[in-house]
């Protein structure tokens, strides 16, 4: 393994065309829109965060400089796909790390994205170092949706961009009240698709009152070992185990098998996940 290093300016300039090309490929393949993922500690998010972005050139330092990479990709993508092809951005409401990307930063960047004509802004939060978007006990509020309380902050900064919140929605009643209250324009759902791919039809028919999700059962143990542990490491492992369990269901669907609702143990789930990831990594290395 190589030690990570900072990208050179030329390397950064070469990266944005790759994202633009991906958007063009998606458009030509028949997709009806693209999302530029800029949350959860991925590359765009790393540029935005002062923790991971410690550059002193035009790509680092001030928030304007840290946002330059994302805004450049958005601008070039819009130019490439045209004004009528939807371009969405997924943005952290906060990194939930001291000295990281804050909700004030998110509001400012949201305003800049509005100026560049994005069609939808999705709000999430956290990184894989602080898994607020995975940890059901780390949510900023006791409400069903993890990041809903940031909606008003973002809405005030970018009032003309349709707003989407993803994370934690589990009951049709709460989703309907959230939309009716005008907090958001779109609700994002992910995990329920992994175990009940046909659930939108059941929702529309009024036959589903709560979305299936077993993540609370997938944990190392109870008490100190569970989701409410005082240990951030244990909470992170339990959250990662829940995510790994949903990965299993995606693989089952890809293999033509039905998802199963047996949560199993966190250790078993994580063990199978890492074994599968290791095998896939070896195959990729062999094929390159």
All residues at 6 or more sequence positions from 31 whose CB lies less than 8 Å from its CB, including other chains: none
Residue 65: Cβ-neighbour burial (10 angstroms; 0-12, 13-18, 19+): middle
Contact 199, 208 (CB under 8 A): yes
Q: What is the DSSP letter of 40?
A: B
Integer angstrom CA distances of residue 172 from 81, 175, 179, 187, 211: 35, 5, 11, 11, 8
Place of tokens 């293999």: 255
pLDDT reported for residue 273: 87
Please, what is the angle between helix 9-28 and helix 68-81, to 10°?
Answer: 30
Provide the whole-model pTM. Answer: 0.83
Neighbour count for residue 276 (Cβ, 10 Å): 14
Residues making up the chain, counted from first to last = 288
pLDDT reported for residue 58: 96
Contact 225, 218 (CB under 8 A): no
pLDDT reported for residue 36: 97
All residues at 6 or more sequence positions from 28 whose CB lies less than 8 Å from its CB, including other chains: none
Question: If DSSP codes are grouped into helix, strand and coil, which group holds residue 34?
Answer: strand
Contact 61, 54 (CB under 8 A): no
**Which pair of structure tokens corresponds to residue 63?**
């928030």
Neighbour count for residue 208 (Cβ, 10 Å): 18
DSSP per-residue letters across 67-130: THHHHHHHHHHHHHH-TTS-EEEEEES---STTS--HHHHHHHHHHHHHTT-SEEEEE--BSSS
288 vs 281: CA distance, rounded Å: 11
Question: If DSSP codes are grouped into helix, strand and coil, which group holds residue 24?
Answer: helix
Print pLDDT tens along the chain (288 aa): 578 888 999 999 999 899 999 999 999 999 999 999 999 889 999 999 999 999 999 999 999 999 999 999 999 999 999 999 999 999 988 777 778 899 999 999 999 999 999 999 999 877 666 555 444 444 444 456 778 888 889 999 999 999 999 888 888 888 899 999 888 999 998 888 888 888 889 888 888 888 876 555 666 666 655 556 666 677 767 778 878 888 889 999 999 998 887 766 788 888 888 898 888 888 887 776
47 vs 209: CA distance, rounded Å: 40
pLDDT reported for residue 204: 86
Please give the distance of CA 110 from its chain centroid, rounded to a whole number: 16
Integer angstrom CA distances of residue 273 from 33, 97, 160, 214, 225: 31, 27, 42, 17, 20
pLDDT reported for residue 140: 41
Catalytic residue ranges: 42
Neighbour count for residue 255 (Cβ, 10 Å): 7
């Amino acid at each position: 393994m190589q030690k990570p290093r900072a990208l050179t300016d030329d390397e950064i300039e070469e990266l944005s065309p790759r994202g633009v090309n991906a958007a063009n490929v998606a458009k030509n393949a028949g997709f009806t829109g693209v999302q530029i993922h800029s949350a959860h500690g991925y590359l765009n998010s790393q540029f935005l965060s002062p923790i991971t972005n410690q550059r002193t050139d035009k790509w680092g330092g001030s928030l304007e400089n840290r946002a330059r990479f994302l805004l450049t990709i958005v601008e070039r993508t819009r130019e490439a796909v045209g004004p009528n092809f939807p371009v969405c951005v997924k943005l952290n409401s906060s990194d939930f790390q001291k000295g990281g990307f804050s909700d004030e930063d998110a509001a400012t960047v949201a305003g800049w994205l509005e100026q560049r004509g994005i069609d939808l802004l999705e709000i999430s939060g956290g990184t894989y170092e602080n898994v607020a978007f995975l940890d059901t006990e780390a949510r900023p509020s006791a409400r069903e949706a993890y990041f809903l309380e940031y909606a008003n902050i973002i809405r005030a900064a970018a009032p003309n961009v349709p707003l989407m919140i993803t994370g934690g929605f589990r009951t049709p009643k709460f989703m309907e009240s959230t939309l009716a209250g005008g907090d958001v324009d779109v609700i994002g759902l992910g995990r329920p698709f992994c175990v009940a791919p046909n659930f939108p039809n059941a929702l529309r028919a009024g036959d589903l009152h709560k979305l299936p999700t077993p993540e609370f059962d997938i944990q190392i143990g109870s008490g100190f070992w569970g989701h409410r542990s005082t240990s951030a490491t244990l909470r992170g492992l339990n959250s990662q185990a829940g995510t790994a369990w949903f990965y299993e269901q995606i693989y089952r669907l890809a293999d033509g098998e039905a998802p199963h609702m047996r949560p199993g143990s966190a250790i078993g789930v994580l063990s199978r996940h890492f074994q599968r990831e290791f095998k896939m990594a070896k195959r990729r290395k062999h094929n390159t």
